[in-house]
A = this chain, B = another copy of it.
Amino acid sequence: MKNLLEHVEAAIRERKLFRRGERILVAVSGGVDSMVLLRALVALARGQDWKLTVAHFNHQLRGRASDGDELFVKRAATALGLRCLTERGAVKSIAKERGISIEMAARELRHKFLADAARQTGSRMIALAHHADDQVELFFLRLFRGAGGEGMAGMKWSNVSPANSNIKLVRPLLDVSKIEIEQAAREAKIKFRTDASNACRDILRNRIRHDLLPQLRRGFQPALDKAVLRVMDLVGEESEAVAALARQWLRARKPGAFARLSVAVQRRVIQLQLREGKLPEEFDGVEFLRCFPNREFNLDVARSVARDAAGRLHFRWLTKAGFKSGLKKIWLRAESGAAEFGGVKLNWRITKRVARGKIARQPGRELFEADRVGRKITLRHWQPGDRFQPIGMTRAVKLQDLFVNLKIPKARRHELVVAVAEGGEIFWVEGTRIGEAFKLTGATRRALIWRWWR
């Protein structure tokens, strides 16, 4: 454990992962990785004046075993004198309802819970227990998917939470091997839970972990992990250099000709614009847009995109009978501003925290947590597949169903304006309640005040 502590302390210091006095939310599943991470951070916290909170998301995918994990983590946190936040997610039913995989639903709900828990405890940082073996597995997962350099580079030491761009995910164990983690657990007698589903060969990652990697180490390269991690580092830095060129080009007032960029930078310029628009970044689409200017590529049933000769992407809603296209992007970079879209006029203002409850509800005025909404928002009309979680509801529903419940006439539904947060979620639907995830809480630092009228 001493070796691991010294190593982790050095990594945190050299990479500036946490500051002195940082509030850190530690994501703990109860497995050996996160239990060792928790104990390591507790051991280092005193010297660094960190304030730790434990968070556990119960995916409810393994029945009593899941509940056992939750209880175990709660007790471990109590024994360490730490607060523990938990949540139970209905992963299966949400995956089914939304037609996405269990893994994707689990990931989304977990990140949302962690980001909300971080916000609630005033933490800007979420510590995750990903380690070097996870990276090597990820390399092969992404190789089998045919990923680009960015994907092949694997996870970063620190990146923005997909659920909230004000919160960072930090991975202090990223260059520590599983063997070192297990050794530390033995030395420090750290108890942990074993997830039986980790042995299940139906999951591709488990087959890579238990079948492929041991075989490669045995038959092809004993130092496999070192070699793969080096490839990830080298390829990742090259990819990052290309991304920097692409960002620079996109920001430039007078960028050079798109056609004269290198193939890699052209690809990245297109990919970054797709990402900005929360659109799928698939290889075929990127290559189509790169090679054929002014030709439309259908991203999905609802949207198409084309690249102009100058390299800029133009998105278009494929009009389904009745649905209205068009959108307005607003950048909330000043303290206040005004906008207009689809007949709705809007004045907005960002203020320091507002005492809750003191402000009476007024028609035509809403308050949102500004940091959750983000800086870049979009005004548009209802589109097929839109979902929204009004305040007080436990999950997002289809806008379609909401309109039916609220008895809004069909013709009117297509005239209403909706507002989309930087993270891609709808936070406001004209004339209904605000989004649950965007309400003011005790941890709110800044409020977005939103006045609108027609």
Binds B, one of A117-125, A144-152, A349-357, A402-410: A144-152
Contact B237 A262 (CB under 8 A): yes
Q: Is A238 an interface residue (CB 8 A)?
A: yes
Smallest Cβ distance from A148 to chain B, in angstroms? Answer: 4
Q: Is A416 an interface residue (CB 8 A)?
A: no
Which residues of B are found within 8 Å of A238, using beta-carbon distances? 148-149, 235, 238-239, 241-242, 264
Q: Is A344 an interface residue (CB 8 A)?
A: no
Chain A 211-241 near chain B by CB (<8 Å), digits 1 or 0: 1100010011100101110110011011111
Which residues of B are found within 8 Å of A219, using beta-carbon distances? 207, 211-212
Q: Is A309 an interface residue (CB 8 A)?
A: no
Contact A237 B264 (CB under 8 A): yes
Contact A143 B264 (CB under 8 A): no
Smallest Cβ distance from A280 to chain B, in angstroms? Answer: 16
Contact B145 A235 (CB under 8 A): no
Task: Give the docked Cα–Cα distance between A237 and B265 (Å).
Answer: 9
Which residues of B are found within 8 Å of A208, using beta-carbon distances? 220
Point out the residue from B204, B240, B265 that lies within 8 Å of A262, measured CB to CB: B240
Contact A263 B237 (CB under 8 A): yes
Chain A 5-25 near chain B by CB (<8 Å), digits 1 or 0: 000000000000000000000
Q: Which of A137-159 contact B (CB under 8 A)?
A: 140, 143-149, 152
**Main DSSP-derived SS at the A contact region:** helix
Which residues of B are found within 8 Å of A216, using beta-carbon distances? 144, 212
Q: How many copies does the complex hold?
A: 2
Contact A146 B231 (CB under 8 A): yes
Q: Is A259 an interface residue (CB 8 A)?
A: no
Which of A152, A235, A263 has the most C-beta atoms of chain B within 10 angstroms of its own C-beta? Answer: A235
When C-beta atoms are compared, the residue in chain B nearest to A243 turns out to be: B238
When C-beta atoms are compared, the residue in chain B nearest to A228 turns out to be: B143
Point out the residue from B144, B207, B264 that lies within 8 Å of A227, measured CB to CB: B144
Contact B267 A143 (CB under 8 A): no
Smallest Cβ distance from A14 to chain B, in angstroms? Answer: 12
Contact B152 A235 (CB under 8 A): yes
Contact A204 B228 (CB under 8 A): no
When C-beta atoms are compared, the residue in chain B nearest to A239 turns out to be: B238
Which residues of B are found within 8 Å of A212, using beta-carbon distances? 216, 219-220
Contact B149 A220 (CB under 8 A): no
Q: Is A45 an interface residue (CB 8 A)?
A: no
Point out the residue from B144, B152, B244 that lies within 8 Å of A220, measured CB to CB: B144
Task: Give the docked Cα–Cα distance between A221 and B207 (Å).
Answer: 12
Point out the residue from B148, B241, B267 that lies within 8 Å of A264, measured CB to CB: B241
Which of A208, A234, A245 has the most C-beta atoms of chain B within 10 angstroms of its own C-beta? Answer: A234
Contact B148 A224 (CB under 8 A): no
Q: Is A288 an interface residue (CB 8 A)?
A: no
Q: Is A283 an interface residue (CB 8 A)?
A: yes
Task: Give the docked Cα–Cα distance between A151 and B226 (Å).
Answer: 16
Which residues of B are found within 8 Å of A245, using beta-carbon distances? 241, 245
Task: Give the docked Cα–Cα distance between A447 and B220 (Å).
Answer: 49
Contact B144 A221 (CB under 8 A): yes
Point out the residue from B144, B149, B227, B262 that lies within 8 Å of A234, measured CB to CB: B149
Contact B241 A152 (CB under 8 A): no
Contact A264 B283 (CB under 8 A): no
Chain A 360-377 near chain B by CB (<8 Å), digits 1 or 0: 000000000000000000
Smallest Cβ distance from A220 to chain B, in angstroms? Answer: 6
Contact A241 B227 (CB under 8 A): no
Between-chain CB contacts (< 8 Å), 7 pairs: A148-B231, A207-B220, A234-B264, A238-B264, A241-B241, A241-B263, A241-B264
Q: Which residues of A contact B (CB under 8 A)?
A: 140, 143-149, 152, 204, 207-208, 211-212, 216, 219-221, 224, 226-228, 230-231, 234-235, 237-242, 244-245, 262-265, 267, 283
Using A144-B227, A149-B234 as known contacts, list a sample of 18 further A-B pairs with CB atoms less than 8 Å apart, ordered by residue number in A. A140-B220, A144-B216, A144-B220, A145-B227, A146-B226, A146-B227, A147-B231, A148-B235, A212-B219, A230-B283, A235-B235, A235-B238, A237-B262, A237-B264, A238-B239, A238-B242, A241-B245, A241-B265
Q: What are the nearest 6 A-B pairs in CB distance?
A: A146-B227, A146-B230, A148-B234, A144-B221, A237-B264, A241-B264
